[in-house]
Amino acid sequence: MNKSLKMILVLTIITIISGTVLSYWDNFTKPIINEHKSNKLDKLILEILPEHNSIEELKLGEYNLYIGKQDNKIVGIAFKVEGGGYQDIISMIVGVTPDFSEITALKILSQKETPGLGTKIVEDPSNENPAWFTEQFKNVKVKPEIVYVKNSKPSKDNEIQAITGATISSKSVVNILNTNIGKVKKMYNEK
């Protein structure tokens, strides 16, 4: 057989087989992976909203708002925000007070930050409280904007402390919150 023809044929066949195997495997694993994702989302929303007895869903542009109500009074609003991190998209759920002035809770849904450094935004094994980074956002004021400080404890009520060695990841989280909360607030008030 012609040499070049054989080359083309062999590589094509290998690629076709590989593609077929992978598409079957993807079909098989995708539902399980998606289930993990939606389970995680549901669980986080429940954790993030303050005490409530009903949740109302509201679609605003690209955002899905989960409005927590206690006896028909809005107690908190949670929604998913996304944006660029150090290497890939960081996606998180943020809870805010009904007037969008303060953050009530923050949880990271998914991220692909550097293991051991940027991943501290989710879990910091070197700290007594591994979730300190996201927990410090509780009661942080959104106005005029959230600011991060390095190597010192935050002194103002719109400041948070960045992670040593992972400033870019910390900064990304802050930026994502600043841009998205403002956008959602605007849309929500205009509704």
Partner 1 sequence: MSQKKVTLFQEFLKGIWKENPILVSLLGLCPTLAVTVSAENGLAMGLAATFVVVSSSVIVSILRKIISPQVRIASFIVIIATFVTIADRFLAAYYPDISTNLGPFIPLIIVNCMILGRQEAFASKNNIGRSFLDAFGVGIGFTVVLVLLGGVREILGSGTLFGVEVMWNNFHPWAVMILPPGAFLALGLMIGVSNWLNELGEKK
Phi, psi of 69 (to 5 degrees): -125, 145
3-state secondary structure of 157: coil
Which residues contact residue 69 at a Cβ distance below 8 angstroms, ignoring those fewer than 6 apart? 52, 53, 54, 55, 56, 75
112 binds partner 1 (CB under 8 A): yes
- Binding to partner 1 (CB under 8 A) within 126-145 occurs at 126
Give the HSE-up count for residue 96: Cα atoms under 13 Å, Cβ half-sphere. 21
22 binds partner 1 (CB under 8 A): yes
What letter would DSSP give residue 41?
H
Binding residue for partner 1, selected from 110, 135, 138, 179, defined by CB under 8 A:
110
CB of 119 closer than 8 Å to CB of 108: no
- Cα Rg for the chain, rounded, in angstroms? 22
User: Does the N-terminal peptide bond of residue 144 adopt cis geometry, omega within 30 degrees of 0?
Assistant: yes
- Binding to partner 1 (CB under 8 A) within 156-175 occurs at 164-165
Binding residue for partner 1, selected from 66, 113, 180, 181, defined by CB under 8 A:
113
2 binds partner 1 (CB under 8 A): no
Binding residue for partner 1, selected from 61, 125, 129, 152, defined by CB under 8 A:
125
Binding residue for partner 1, selected from 10, 42, 43, 46, defined by CB under 8 A:
10
Span from 32-40, 73-81, 142-150, 169-177 in contact with partner 1 (CB under 8 A)? 32-40
**Spatial distance between the Cα atoms of 161 and 86, rounded to a whole number of angstroms:** 18
CB of 23 to partner 1, least distance (A): 11
Interface with partner 1 by CB under 8 A: which residues? 3, 6-7, 10-11, 14-15, 18, 21-22, 25-26, 29, 32-33, 36, 87-88, 110-117, 119, 122, 125-126, 164-165
